[in-house]
Amino acid sequence: MKKTHLLLIVGYLMLLTACSKDNNGADGGDNGYPSALTGTIYYDWATQGILKVSLSDGVGSTFIPDKSKLNNFDISRDGRYKLTVINEQTVGKYPIRFTLSDITNGSIVEEFVYHSPGLNGYCKGFLSPDNSHIVVLSNDKADGITILKRNGEFVGRIQDINGQELGFNDQRLWLPGNALLIIHNNYIIRLAPPYTSGTLLKEMNYDDWGDVAVNHAGNQLAVRIANHVYTMDMDGSNLKQVTTSNFKESVPEFSPDGKYLLVGTEYRQTGPFGWMWSLKIIPNDGKEYNVDPIAPNTPGVIPVILKGKEKIETAGGQMIWR
């Protein structure tokens, strides 16, 4: 099995050496959603499982019932397929089941069992933009960044950057053309197929930052810096603060067309390993929006409220907008 170590070179090149609602501004739709707001928001909330809300009608429902063995899920960029990653761990065995299914009829498209080299039962998986590959995340150094074909066939593995082990909280995001965006320490790195060379996009010289998101076009990033959300171009230029409040905003997600941002507002810790936040949407126009839960919000801020309800939706885990 081929393993790859990521080596950062001085400058901007890297080489890989292989070892082998608020009605403000709304113009239609129930609950004040603009008619131009489209797609489906999927979000994890407590013991209710994975919920979803369709836009712009605001109709909500359960997408995946609560399952304690669900490591994570993903939705294809075209909204056709659902990927689930389930821990089937038993005594002495650590199988992770990956299932790709058709959302419309529930039929299974691909299914395989993955065995982590580090015997890790908590791996996650995410679909590439063209639905052909899966990147596997793990907090075990033996797993590193693993790239599989969607049928489970092994493609490659990267285990360290500059000799430093990859952490579970290091983000790995797909880009158009099946390139990967890797977040490691203070670096944002682009790794292109066949995953043997890459470029350093930006060094983030901030004490507190993270929760990076990329738009579907692959030319803009959203990121939390300290307590607020910023956007910037893929090369790190044009950095703009786009949220403000007396609280904290985090976990941004772009709308499929890139015209809006879903943000977690009033982000707060609920326990040793738990967090929660309220869902609000802002236009992605480079302007700064006040999303405070108490102070008046900037016109154009849209709270995510389900049709027939009055309370803003909250989440405490994974969020996807497709």
Give the total residue count for the chain.
Answer: 322
Q: In this predicted model, what pLDDT tens digit does every residue of 216-264 receive, in sequence order?
A: 999 999 999 999 999 999 988 999 999 999 999 999 999 999 999 999 9
Residue 173's DSSP bridge partners are: 181
DSSP secondary structure letters along 203-218:
E---SSEEEEEE-TTS
Phi, then psi, of 152 in degrees rounded to 5: 100, -5
Residue 16 banded pLDDT, cuts 50, 70, 90: very low
Residue 75 banded pLDDT, cuts 50, 70, 90: very high
Residue 194 banded pLDDT, cuts 50, 70, 90: confident
What's the pTM value of the predicted model, to 2 decimals? 0.89
C-alpha 41/C-alpha 63 separation (Å) is 10
pLDDT at 21: 41
C-alpha 181/C-alpha 302 separation (Å) is 29
Tokens of 49: 């499982």
3-class secondary structure, 118: coil
The residue among 278, 304, 284 whose CA lies nearest residue 29 is 304
H/E stretch holding 160 reads strand 154-161
Share of the chain above pLDDT 90, in %: 68
